Structure formats: structure tokens, C-alpha cells
Structure 1
Amino acid sequence: MSFQNALKDKGDSITIELEVTPGSRKASFPEGYNQWRQRIEIKLTAAAQKGKANEELINSLADFFKINTASIAIRSGARSSKKTVEIKGLEYDEAVRMLEG
């Protein structure tokens, strides 16, 4: 599975295009790759209410990439299932390796 089309190198950061499914029985990242939308799928247990799913999303990404939550920001789609997340201090090649790994 190639996640590369969902990642963009911004120099000092990367952006990741995500498709989020809140309210799942089990949290999972990466859950898969939607090749038509070119987004990495992630499942979260939190409901999409009062920012709980967004908070879990940031924590899940921080755990997966082993970085601080302060390095992660939702750049677009805060109220949508289709989100763009920016991660500072993570190199593109390292992110691809971790996702495919």
C-alpha cells in the first residue's frame, strides 16, 4: 500500500491527508488507504462531539510517529471526516517508511 500520495513535503513539516472514522469500536492507524481520495484512513473510538475525536486524532498521530502533540495541527477539515494535518519536525521519507513499515 503506497501512502505517498497522501503526504506532502513542506520543508520543515509534512501534511497528511486523512479520512477519519469517529465512533469506531477500535482505534487504528493507518487503517488503510483510499486510493480514489488519496487519503490515509484512521479509525477513532471517540465520538465527533466537542472536539473529542480531533483530540484523539492528534494523540494517535503523536503516538504513532513518536512525536509531541504540540508538533501536530489540523490545518483543514476540523469539522469534517476529511482532514489535512500538519506535522512539524517529521521528515517526509521517515513518515513514508513508518507508514509502510
Structure 2
Amino acid sequence: MKAIRGVEDGVLVDIEVSPGSSGFSISSYNPWRNRIEIRIRSIPQRGKANKEIIQEFSTITHKEVEIVSGHKSRQKTIKIFDTVENEINRIIKDLIS
């Protein structure tokens, strides 16, 4: 998946967010946009959606996560620290519903 790429201190993951869902899920990989599509419960208000994204990815990967771009956009890039591309690829493929 082109949405996942390794960097010096972790992995960058390009995501597209659909807020207002019944729960968090990683729904699919969009090959045209090269983004992983995720659904979240929170609405994009006062950082609630960003907090949910960080919390859920931290729980899934057991790593520190931060949003590096797209704080006010549906298209975001998150950074997962202290891991490798292959591990994140495996985790996300296992979770795509």
C-alpha cells in the first residue's frame, strides 16, 4: 500500500476520515487516493476527531501516534513512532473490514 511508508523514526500513514460513524473501523484502502479509509465516532469539532484517531491508532499499534498533517481536513497523515513499515502494513491489512 502506497499509503504506508517508513521514515527514520517510524512510519507515516495517509488516511481519509469519515466522521459520525457508529464506531471506529479501518474500512478499506483507496488505491486512487493512496489513502486508508477509516471511520470514527467523533465529529470534527474542537479536536475530538483527531483525539479519537490518535487514541485508536495508539491502541491498535501500542505505539505513540501523532497527526503530522491535515489537522482540519478529512485527509490526514499520521506518524506512528518506533515501528517499521511491514508491521503497520500487517496490522492494517488484518483490520480492514
Q: What TM-score do the two structures reach when normalised by structure 1?
A: 0.87
Q: Secondary structure at 2:29's aligned position in 1?
A: strand
Give the equivalent residue in structure 2 for 1:49: 45
Q: Secondary structure at the match of 1:26?
A: coil
Over aligned residue pairs, what C-alpha RMSD do you find?
Answer: 1.0
Equivalent position of 1:34 in the other structure: 30
Structure 1, unaligned runs of 5 or more: none
What percentage of aligned pairs have identical amino acids?
34
1:66 to 58, 62, 76: 62
Distance (whole Å) between structure 2 residues aligned to residue 100 and residue 49 of structure 1: 29
Runs ≥4 residues deviating over 2 A:
none
The residue aligned with 2:5 is 8
Corresponding residue number in structure 2 for 1:82: 75
TM-score w.r.t. the length of structure 2 is 0.91
Count how many residue pairs are aligned between Structure 1 and Structure 2: 94
